Amino acid sequence: MSAITLHVSQRGVITLPKALRDAYGIKAGEPLRLLDLDGVFVLTRQPAEMDVLADRLAAELHAKGETLETMLRAPREERAQHND
């Protein structure tokens, strides 16, 4: 792992060094993903695995007519029974 210092332009543009773009085959216009981990930034070429899994789970639940509210109903009911 290496550290590269980048500078943000007045318009907020960050330029990846040519050597880095060449080494990883990053092309102009290629979408990159910037993850903000409480001020630690991670730049990646592909979606994070967690995002892929979350999207797949959301699609499966939507296909079954499930919502966040219906998923939370059972634990809330269980908690309510134990708190009585």
pLDDT digits (tens, 9 = 90+) for 48-71: 677 778 888 889 988 999 887 888
The domains of the chain are located at: 49-83
pLDDT of 84 > 70? The answer is no
| Cα–Cα distance measured from residue 31 to residue 80, given in angstroms and rounded to the nearest whole number | 46
Q: In this structure, are residues 30 and 45 in contact, taking their beta carbons and an 8 Å threshold?
A: yes
Summarised one tens digit per residue, pLDDT across range 8-64 is 999 999 999 999 999 989 999 888 988 899 999 998 887 767 777 888 888 998 899
Written as six digits, the tokens of 38 are 């409480």
Instruction: Measure Cα distances from 25 to 34, 46, 64 in Å.
Output: 18, 13, 40
CA nearest to 58, candidates 68, 48, 47: 68
Report yes or no on whether pTM surpasses 0.75.
no
Within 8 A by CB and 6+ apart from 46, the residues are 33
Per-residue pLDDT at 48:
67
